[in-house]
Structure 1
Amino acid sequence: METYDALLLASTTPEPGRTRTILDPATGEEVGEAPVHGVEDLERAVEAATAAQPAWAALGHEARSAALLRAADAVDRSAEDLARLLSREQGKPLNGPNARFEVGACSGWLRATAATPLEPETVVDDGQTHAELHYRPIGVVGAIGPWNWPMMIAIWQIAPALRMGNAVVVKPSEHTPLSVLALVRVLNQELPEGLLTAVCGGPEVGARMAGHPAIGKIMFTGSTATGKAIMKTSADTVKRLTLELGGNDAGIVLPDADPKAIAGDLFWGAFINTGQTCAALKRLYVHDDIYEAVCEELTAVAATMPMGVGLDEANVLGPLQNKQQFDIVARLVQSAKDSGARVLLGGNPEPDQPGYFYPTTLVADIDNDNPLVAEEQFGPALPIIRYSTVDEAVAKANGLDAGLGASVWSSNPAEARKVAARIQAGTVWINSHGGVHPMVPFGGVKQSGYGLEFGVEGLKSLGVPQVING
């Protein structure tokens, strides 16, 4: 087991002029010095990955799965120290669905990926033709991750890529490199040398990854704008892509829902990771009949949730991870206040407080075209919009270019499923929002990206289909 100090030390580099200081977004205190890699470091990582990949692929699914299980054991051995590093660098609290939860999900996804069967599929066998569909390794996969769930999303990319016989080069967010470096170090206790490498560079490294001729696929989670840039840069090499891009998820509360019964799940659907989740509930449509009751019950729940420094065991909400995101949330909430919307809770950050804390904010009586509704806030501020008919709510839910997730809330699941079928989103949850499962495919539609992750479909997306006919 690696200690916290050992993980932190191993995630830094002593090279002068090639480091960047990482600060705790809750306190402003220094966490550590992150390496700043360049394109030449990427080239070395790709060369090592290319050399290591054939022998890894030759091991077969069973041996590769066994290695993933050993890697999961390694994560479990270092879980608490990984969680503490994650909490300090990203800002999320240790408890609740936060740092310890995220590290546990890393182990769980490794195990689930190892256990997922993927057998050759006989597509025709009629006595004259026998055709089988197989999936072969791509080669080297480039994984570009975000800062909101840096460890967990890295595993979502790494685990299926390795299972399918690929090597992986990871580029973590510049905001949260130490967490991913530490995780990769732990995983590499059980993996062949050169197979998995993290390169902590800026946009020039990401651009080179997207256009690199030796990288056969890019997996990217992040903004729609960056996803579009990756598509353009990758075109010359006809690179395979899985893009999980921005979301502005809608929730529709039907008039038969029980406001008190759903309030807790509504809260966590919107405010998990302090709202910094692509598939969080970001705009809530509530029928006139129960609008005030939902506002009242949701406010009562939200008011009980402690926010503060992540290493304090009592807290379940933390800061925004960076000032840029804090400024976005502040701007959008101010736009709602300027329009005359009713602030039920929050909306006034303390000016002299250290860290990027924005209070849990609920905004009612807001127009559907207000920027807080129309733009993805990615923070702890939820607009609650009235509607009169289900047709109106569905039209508003479908009115944006985003289509990652959505939810329908009702005491009648059958009726909720009928409404869900009308919503343009990759996943629609019933009476919950944002939950993911390693065997349930996940991906977006419209400008929230394309490609599927998780389960059998996720494994297939990390392979090259090959038909053997005859």
Structure 2
Amino acid sequence: MNNAYFSFPMPQNEPVRDYAPNSADALNLQAAIKELKGKKRDIPMYIGGKEIRTDKKVDIFPPHETAHLLGQFSMGDESHINKAIESALKAREQWAATSWEHRAAIFLKAADLLAHKYRFKMNAATMLGQSKNAYQAEIDSACELIDFLRFNVHFLSQIYAQQPISAPGINNRTEYRPLEGFVLAITPFNFTAIGGNLPTAPAMCGNVVVWKPANTQVYSASIFMEILKEAGLPDGVINLVYASGPSIGDICFKHRDFAGVHFTGSTGVFNTMWKTIGENATNYKSYPRIVGETGGKDFVYVHPTADPDAVAANLLRGAFEYQGQKCSAASRAYLPSNLAEKIKTKLLAEMKTLKMGVVDDFSNFINAVIDEKSFDKLASYIDSAKKSKSAKILAGGTYDKTNGYFIEPTVIEASKPDYVTMCEELFGPVLTIYVYDKKDWDKIIDTVDSTSGYALTGSIFAQDRNIIEYLAKRLVNAAGNFYINDKPTGAVVGQQPFGGARASGTNDKAGSALNLYRWLSARTIKETFVPVTNYRYAFHQEG
């Protein structure tokens, strides 16, 4: 019986654990890493609640320790994609009819399981599979994913409570239905939290989902699926499949019941998806929702009044945490001539203290990039900079894939603001700086705004409040997440809803109610208690 209004108050952000040396948390995490490394996982797909394995196995190796086999996952084909869609559509009616408080309870339970029982296992899996250090895993696969689950329940509860006004004798109400069909979630390697949020946000709204993670994130994605099943997610609501991107697109985007895509990945792939969906628009039962967060070429603009020590520290964190593989990572920086030498001196001195190596050693700040393809791409950019007359390498510049895909944190100084590494997305631990004449601080703003087609994140550093306001207005369209005297990374659910525009995506702001609206279809209902029995209005009456 559902005869009460249910409220889910604003949660607190999950506290971040620090994993200090010899702390209980550090010891538990080390034990979880050791346990996962001590066994080879045989990872299935999950379709209709069943574990599906195939004869086509794909090996999983830690990017930082490529000689160690973590396990294998079963690669699917077209038949598995079709089966996942069938299972989702079969589950749709009952899931859509499930009372909100019971849907919410599943995801809140999953958050609690992740916060306690599975915390160290999930963090260890993210560290091993995606080469994150302990802190980067903690803020991602524990805290951010927990926050997504809890805050989305709260935001959706608020949406459901929003109702229209009613005139006397009339009752108006709005119900928020799930979309009519299935949602495809395509998730990236770099954040376990994104991998978890993209399928669960639509599912929380009553939708059924086909989830395709990046092959390089399958290891941790499968553990999150285990958590959802333990939390009570009904069979078929989320179907986890491993298949090629083209096969997924070819089948899903041609299906009559395709209702939407929740995507994080490259701009090129997103553009292709959008075009394909448009070409198939007449085939669909409803116009699909297209939600995507794509690339970034994130900037740091430094004004002549900035604090150089703050700039150096935030460049180091913003550019090199998680090997620069955050969509929001600081990739290009504009330094004024009056501060450039002091900033560079401090930055390069601090870079000498960065340790690089395997994730098991918690003293390592830098680990490996995700795979050989990424390694080779980054190495080619570094080699080009070494040969270029328009750039010089100030720090780093070495790389080695003997035992893992290690790229040394690298700073390139470009002599022109349109040098290739100032413009193109690299997705690695490479920061390019350009020193401008301090008198041109206003002129260079246009360059910051126009150099890249992306508009995901950006930072400004200045001490003058009038200048800060001026810069914020001048760069109003340059970033969906804009930072003042801070690095351009580290958005927190409920605090800084995340997303960008231009070539960086649809700016639907994961971590806020804005994203959830995209997975709902509103129906307005008007009920008249005593209907009229005469069509005539008063002005029709005879005097």
TM surpasses 0.5: yes
Following superposition of structure 1 onto structure 2, how do residues 9-28 of structure 1 map, counting pairs within 5 Å? 9=41, 11-12=43-44, 17-28=55-66
Cα 1:220–1:397 change in 2 (3 A) is same
Question: How far did 1:99 drift?
Answer: 5.4
Match of 1:367 in 2: 416
Q: Which residue of 1 aligns with 2:185?
A: 143
State yes or no: 1:197 paired with 2:253.
no
Partner residue of 2:399 out of 327, 346, 349: 349
Residue correspondence of structure 1 range 17-166 to structure 2 within 5 A: 17-28=55-66, 29-76=68-115, 77-93=117-133, 95-98=134-137, 101-116=140-155, 117-122=158-163, 134-138=175-179, 139-149=181-191, 151-166=192-207
Change (3 A) 1:113 1:122: closer
- Deviation larger for 47-56 or 183-192: 47-56
| Distance in 2 between residues matched to 1:209 and 1:316, nearest whole Å | 40
Distance apart, 1:211 and its partner CA: 3.2
Paired residues of 1:142 and 1:217 also in contact (CA < 8 A): yes
What are the superposed Cα offsets for residues 193-251 of structure 1, whole Å, 9 maximum, x if unpaired?
22112101112333123333223110111111100111122221332110111111111
1:41-440 aligned at under 5 Å gives the runs 41-76=80-115, 77-93=117-133, 95-98=134-137, 101-116=140-155, 117-122=158-163, 134-138=175-179, 139-149=181-191, 151-190=192-231, 191-207=233-249, 208-235=251-278, 236=280, 237=284, 238-340=287-389, 341-350=391-400, 353-388=402-437, 389-399=440-450, 400-413=452-465, 415-423=467-475, 424-432=478-486, 433-439=488-494, 440=496
Give unpaired runs (5+ residues) of structure 2: 1-31, 46-51, 528-543
What letter corresponds to residue 398 of structure 1 in structure 2?
A: D
Q: TM-score, normalised by structure 2?
A: 0.80
State the distance in 2 between where 1:40 and 1:50 align: 15
Tell me the residue number matched to 1:450. Answer: 506
Larger radius of gyration: 2
Residue deviations 1:169-205 (CA, integer Å, cap 9, x gap)? 2101122222212211221111112211210111233
Match of 2:3 in 1: none
Cα root mean square deviation, aligned? 2.5
Classify 1:384/1:38 alpha carbon distance in 2 versus 1 (closer, same or farther; 3 Å).
Answer: same
Residue in structure 2 matched with residue 459 of structure 1 by the alignment: 516
SS of 2:442 mapped into structure 1: helix
Under a length normalisation based on structure 1, what TM-score does the superposition of the two structures give? 0.92
Range with bigger deviation, 405-414 or 269-278: 405-414
Shift of 1:148: 1.5
Tell me the amino acid that sits aligned with residue 522 of structure 2. Answer: P
| Contact map agreement 1:343 1:361 (CA 8 A) in 2 | yes
Cα distance, 1:168–1:178 mapped onto 2, change above 3 Å: same
Quick one: distance in 2 between partners of 1:80 and 1:64? 26
Quick one: distance in 2 between partners of 1:407 and 1:80?
33
Shift of residue 24 of structure 1? Answer: 1.7
Give distance in 1, aligned partners of 2:418 and 2:173.
51
Q: Is the 8 A contact 2:457 2:500 kept in 1?
A: yes
SS of 1:247's equivalent in the other structure is: coil
CA shift in 2, pair 1:123/1:368, >3 Å: farther
C-alpha spacing 1:101/1:450, structure 2 compared with 1 (3 Å): closer
Mapped to 2, the partners of 1:241 and 1:8 lie a distance apart of 37
Sort the Cα spacing of 1:51 and 1:362 in 2 relative to 1 into closer, same or farther, 3 A.
Answer: same
Deviation digits for residues 398-445 of structure 1 (CA, Å, limit 9, x no counterpart): 222111111111223553243123222222111221221222432221
Deviates more, 1:398-407 or 1:53-62: 53-62
Q: Structure 1 CA distance, aligned partners of 2:415 and 2:65?
A: 33
Report deviation, 1:6: 11
Partner AA of 2:270 in structure 1: G
What is the one-letter code of the residue matched to 1:175? T
Segment of structure 1 superposing worse, 115-124 or 273-282 = 115-124
- Name whichever of 290-299 and 12-21 sits farther off: 12-21
SS at match of 1:406: strand
Aligned pairs, how many? 466
Q: Secondary structure at the match of 2:386?
A: helix
Moved more, 253-262 or 412-421: 412-421
Q: CA deviation at 1:120?
A: 4.7
- Kept in 2: contact 1:403–1:444 (CA 8 A): yes
CA distance in structure 2 between the aligned counterparts of 1:196 and 1:98, rounded to whole angstroms: 24
* The 10-residue stretch of structure 1 (286-295 or 335-344) with the greater mean CA deviation from structure 2: 335-344
User: Per-residue deviation at 1:129?
Assistant: 9.2
1:97 partner SS: helix
The answer for the alignment partner of 2:16 in structure 1 is: none
**Alpha-carbon shift at residue 108 of structure 1 (Å):** 2.3
Which stretch of structure 1 is more off in the superposition, 213-222 or 438-447? 438-447
Identity of aligned residues (%): 27
* Equivalent residue, structure 1, for 2:13: none
The change in CA–CA distance for 1:307 and 1:460 in structure 2 (over 3 A counts) is same
